[in-house]
Chain A
Amino acid sequence: MTAPTGNGDAAMALCEQVLELVGTRGEAVVRASAGQSSLTRFANSRIHQNVSEDTGGVSLQVTVAGGRTASASGNHTDQTGLTALVERALAAAVLRPEDPEWPGLAGPAPARGADHWDDETAGASARTRAEAVGQFVGAGDGLEAAGFCSTSWSEVALANSAGQRLAGRSTVASISGIQRAIGPDGKADGSGDWSSSRVRELDAAAAGRLAATRAVASTAAEDIGPGHYEVVLEPDCVSDMVQFLSFGFSGKAHAEGTSFAHPGEAQFDPAFSMWDDAADERSIGLNFDAEGTPSALLNLVKGGVTGDLAHDRRSAARAGVQSTGHATGSTAFGAFPMNVIVGEGGDSVDELISEVEHGLLVCGFWYTRILDPKTQVVTGLTRNGLFRIDEGKVGAAVRNLRFTQSYAAALGAGRVLGIGNDGRRVGRYWVPSLRLSDWNFTGGAQG
């Protein structure tokens, strides 16, 4: 079993070894990692799949004369394996056509402080995860529970031929699940989850209780017709919106004309702001990108006005700006923000609901797919909790609905009626609940 070595020391040693093997034959970026990822999965109120893996490997991007670049990766980290990796990448690079737009390597620069690490989480055992699962399941008091508890740690180092040296480490712990209650027309689900860089912060019992409350409340769901409804979207939904919107803040997508984003324009409600900040304590992961550029703070939307775009070195060079340190490692994907925080408001979710005369409380979205990145029209369904709001109070459960809605338009001027103070991390984002004036539901999930 792999054990943490410190702040990426072993990974940095591998990077240096690879750089030495490349020597003067090319300009190289080397990234090495080590870690462990474990996940305990439960269904039908029992643990049924329980896995753990040692993770790690080395990736190399090497560029030879004329900007000809190739990448190779592998997990064979002995001298023979690393030599083969280097020779494979160099052999591929020389066969590529020249690339006049190759932007060169990132020079030495320090990353902003961020250490999303917790020793207890790095050492969490299968028993620790099973105990958390037991708390989640137990909170259902006989309901049928399903979900997972995971813990992971990773150490990453990056070195390049231009002298850049960066290392970082992170831990992540999550509990996520549903409780299922039997109702007159089958099983009704409610969800609860929490994640953090610290396993101690997971309140599995609270997540299980929330899921159970929602499930029981959903057992007598009624049908409502499709149409436009005022909504309160809980953080799971808002995280989904942020994910699709974030692709539009790619400098590459903007240059290619496939983005909705127009920097400097008031495309959103003045109450809405979001930014990307890998160094914020609410974020997870590393504070530098795949090219070795430290990740900058991006004000994506400030007071409703579209602001910064995310750039890697290539898109930045085309735009005549500096890389923002958001490279994914793929020229085709480009750069986009990955640690987005949506600014919180002052109201609790109950206060948001209390302002709604007639509308819907939506706990989660499911299987959302974008129809066009330029319009940001997305179709998907509700899942794990959908309730009427009548005269400021949460009412009867509603059967799931399909929606077809532009995410950007839903956040447009005059449409954000309230922002919750209940921000929490969902996936890679920190997001609160939102009260929006109009959401286009286009059909019932049952037909």
Chain B
Amino acid sequence: MFDAARAAVEGALAAGATYADARVMAGRTESMNAKNGMIEDLGQSESSGLGVRALIGSSWGFFASADLSDKGARSAGEQAADIAKASALVPGPATELAPGDKPAQAHWASECEEHPLDDVSLSEKGDLLVGVTEAMSRVNGVSLATASYAIWDTEKWFVSSEGHRISQRIIECGALLSSTAVGDSETQRRSYPGIRGQYGTSGWELVRRLDLPGNAQRIAEESVALLSAPQCPEETTDLILGAEQMALQIHESVGHAIELDRILGWEAAYAGTSWLEPDKMGSLRFGSDLMNVTADATLPGALGSFGYDDEGTPAKSVPIIDNGVWVGVLSGRDSAAQVGIPSGGCVRSDGWNRLPMVRMTNVGLLPGESSLNEMIAATETGVLMDTNRSWSIDDKRLNFQFGCEIGWEIKNGERGRMLRNPTYTGISPQFWGSMDMVGGADEWVFYGTPNCGKGQPTQVGHTGHPSVPCRFRNVRVGVRG
């Protein structure tokens, strides 16, 4: 496979590229979902191809093809260069690349105890989904009981005109169950372990640890109970977020805001920009002193982990927020060069046919010294919310309104009655600035988000979000239509 990547790079250079790199990727996927004790869909796919990137002047040219022959790969490289040349009709300053480490010639593989495709039978996986959906369906009042899993096994071979020669194999999987109760005028849903499930760079052992069977009945009962629970009141109060909702909060209001391509305006028309400005990095207060965030692609098992990013930069841990002060960004070699920093090693593509771009790695909150129970005990009046249900945030990643599946009233330091349709809204720096309690290391979970959309054509990124429960003061909750 290295030969095809090398031929593509040679083709691009011969056609005038000043820099070129190519990735051959081969992937297998499998997904299954069940509803009310029946398998609904079972799908498997295999795909392989080559994507080659050529830099000429101010623009990347990129071409992707499934033809891995020497002639096909060389032609793909030539076409990538020709596409880059056409960009000269609307030119800008020449694109520079931040100096990289010594080009690696290496292999890296994610940890996997039990290969989810090769070591676990379809029957066993199907029985798991059928069993948990049957168990949820038995709870009176449940209308829809669903469960699913997804598996990705991806191999990559990367070659650059600077001498990189890197192969990687990344195995990812995860699972989800959910229960929906349908009332006269609304629906209520509960999900486990979260709205999207839980995913990681791991074998099937991750799914076994989730213990879907052990959580099915509780989730089903909660979905039914929500239908008759009182509405979350509309008020300004103290808010405690569980770790799953915190993962979403980090992803949307920190992760996307610190993408350097957004900050530089490269995503302005679609995903948007950022409220952060490069000259304020190192001094701008993002949140309270308790806020410490890193983008760490080296965390074993987390969904945003890898050995090298898709332009050959070794995985690293990048400080993002240090005691509340914004200190770092997610970057690649082209974006990093614009602000004079080394690449953060955050450039990835979602397949052989997509241009690598800045993506989150594992953007997560470092644990503090509190716990969920301590937060509840320390709260006179407030609301506890968990498990994301809806998420909306503006194009600068400043104003957000998030809904959760479930809430509980907090009164005099105790968790009280269940609340339905809990929502909260805020402005990022004020919200993070109000964070006064952060959960400890024993509540630290590496949540995985397998569906982060960005770019044109759209790419689906796999990102990780280490997270703990947190408390925020004076937050507006209960917004309704």
Q: Which residues of A contact B (CB under 8 A)?
A: 1, 37-57, 69-76, 84-85, 88-89, 92-93, 95-97, 99, 101, 125-127, 129-131, 133-134, 137, 144, 146-148, 150, 176-178, 180, 187, 189, 191, 256-258, 330-332, 366-375, 377-381, 383, 400, 402, 404-406, 440, 442-447
Closest CB-CB distance, B454 to chain A, in whole Å?
Answer: 12
| Residues in chain A near residue B89, CB distance under 8 A | 47, 127, 130-131, 133-134
Closest CB-CB distance, B388 to chain A, in whole Å?
Answer: 10
Closest CB-CB distance, A190 to chain B, in whole Å?
Answer: 11
Distance in angstroms between the alpha carbons of A402 and B294 in the assembled complex: 30
Distance in angstroms between the alpha carbons of A126 and B56 in the assembled complex: 14
| Residues in chain B near residue A97, CB distance under 8 A | 38-39, 126, 130
Q: 1/0 per residue B429-458: CB within 8 Å of A?
A: 010000000000000000000000000110
Asked if B84 is at the interface of the complex by the 8 Å CB criterion, the answer is yes
Distance in angstroms between the alpha carbons of A322 and B94 in the assembled complex: 59
Complex: chain B residue closest to A443, CB-CB? B425
| Residues in chain B near residue A42, CB distance under 8 A | 90
Assess the A70–B43 pair: CB atoms within 8 A: yes
| Residues in chain B near residue A72, CB distance under 8 A | 43-46
| Residues in chain A near residue B423, CB distance under 8 A | 371, 379
Contacts A257-B182, A445-B394 hold; do A53 and B268 have CB atoms under 8 A apart? no
Complex: chain A residue closest to B30, CB-CB? A92
Known: A53-B353, A445-B394. 11 other contacts (CB 8 A): A47-B89, A72-B43, A75-B47, A95-B126, A129-B86, A148-B270, A178-B269, A180-B268, A256-B182, A371-B389, A442-B481
Residue from A85, A256, A367 within 8 A of B394 (CB atoms): A367
Contacts A70-B44, A99-B38 hold; do A48 and B58 have CB atoms under 8 A apart? yes
Asked if B91 is at the interface of the complex by the 8 Å CB criterion, the answer is yes
Complex: chain A residue closest to B352, CB-CB? A53
Closest CB-CB distance, A246 to chain B, in whole Å?
Answer: 18
Assess the A95–B395 pair: CB atoms within 8 A: no
Of B61-69, B308-316, B377-385, the stretch lying at the interface with chain A is: B61-69
Please classify the interface of chain A as helix (H, G, I), strand (E, B), loop, or mixed, using the class held by over half of its residues: strand
| Residues in chain B near residue A43, CB distance under 8 A | 265-269
| Residues in chain B near residue A378, CB distance under 8 A | 481
Closest CB-CB distance, B106 to chain A, in whole Å?
Answer: 27
Assess the A46–B427 pair: CB atoms within 8 A: no
Contacts A46-B91, A71-B44, A176-B269 hold; do A377 and B481 have CB atoms under 8 A apart? yes
Distance in angstroms between the alpha carbons of A248 and B41 in the assembled complex: 21
Closest CB-CB distance, B434 to chain A, in whole Å?
Answer: 13
Distance in angstroms between the alpha carbons of A377 and B46 in the assembled complex: 39
Distance in angstroms between the alpha carbons of A187 and B82 in the assembled complex: 34
Closest CB-CB distance, A108 to chain B, in whole Å?
Answer: 26
Distance in angstroms between the alpha carbons of A73 and B186 in the assembled complex: 37
Of B199-207, B279-287, B295-303, B398-406, the stretch lying at the interface with chain A is: B398-406
Assess the A369–B182 pair: CB atoms within 8 A: no
Asked if B390 is at the interface of the complex by the 8 Å CB criterion, the answer is yes
Assess the A400–B43 pair: CB atoms within 8 A: no
Closest CB-CB distance, B446 to chain A, in whole Å?
Answer: 25
Assess the A130–B87 pair: CB atoms within 8 A: yes
Distance in angstroms between the alpha carbons of A41 and B272 in the assembled complex: 14
Assess the A40–B87 pair: CB atoms within 8 A: yes
Contacts A43-B265, A49-B60, A146-B268 hold; do A367 and B355 have CB atoms under 8 A apart? no
Complex: chain B residue closest to A410, CB-CB? B481
Contacts A43-B269, A131-B89 hold; do A404 and B83 have CB atoms under 8 A apart? no
Assess the B390–A148 pair: CB atoms within 8 A: no
| Residues in chain B near residue A189, CB distance under 8 A | 268
Assess the B86–A126 pair: CB atoms within 8 A: yes
Assess the B82–A126 pair: CB atoms within 8 A: yes
Asked if B110 is at the interface of the complex by the 8 Å CB criterion, the answer is no
Assess the B395–A383 pair: CB atoms within 8 A: yes
Distance in angstroms between the alpha carbons of A189 and B187 in the assembled complex: 37
| Residues in chain A near residue B41, CB distance under 8 A | 71, 330-332
> What's the tally of chain B residues with a CB closer than 8 Å to chain A?
86
Residue from B58, B82, B430 within 8 A of A47 (CB atoms): B58
Residue from A69, A95, A257, A368 within 8 A of B143 (CB atoms): A257
Assess the B59–A368 pair: CB atoms within 8 A: no
Closest CB-CB distance, B279 to chain A, in whole Å?
Answer: 14
Assess the A147–B60 pair: CB atoms within 8 A: no
Residue from B40, B60, B126, B456 within 8 A of A148 (CB atoms): B456
Complex: chain B residue closest to A93, CB-CB? B42
Complex: chain A residue closest to B54, CB-CB? A50
Which B172-227 residues sit within 8 Å CB-CB of chain A? 180, 182, 185-187
Assess the A52–B481 pair: CB atoms within 8 A: no
Residue from A92, A131, A258 within 8 A of B182 (CB atoms): A258
Assess the B266–A404 pair: CB atoms within 8 A: no
Asked if B393 is at the interface of the complex by the 8 Å CB criterion, the answer is yes
Distance in angstroms between the alpha carbons of A82 and B43 in the assembled complex: 16
23 intermolecular pairs with C-beta atoms under 8 Å apart: A37-B457, A40-B86, A44-B268, A46-B92, A47-B92, A51-B354, A51-B355, A52-B79, A71-B41, A74-B45, A76-B66, A92-B44, A97-B38, A125-B86, A126-B61, A129-B86, A176-B269, A187-B273, A367-B395, A371-B423, A381-B395, A400-B394, A446-B399
Q: 1/0 per residue B24-46: CB within 8 Å of A?
A: 00000000010100111111111
Complex: chain A residue closest to B33, CB-CB? A332
| Residues in chain B near residue A404, CB distance under 8 A | 401, 479-481
Distance in angstroms between the alpha carbons of A51 and B357 in the assembled complex: 12
Distance in angstroms between the alpha carbons of A381 and B43 in the assembled complex: 36
Complex: chain B residue closest to A72, CB-CB? B44
| Residues in chain A near residue B456, CB distance under 8 A | 39, 41, 148, 150
| Residues in chain B near residue A85, CB distance under 8 A | 46
Assess the A46–B143 pair: CB atoms within 8 A: no
Residue from B38, B121, B392 within 8 A of A380 (CB atoms): B392
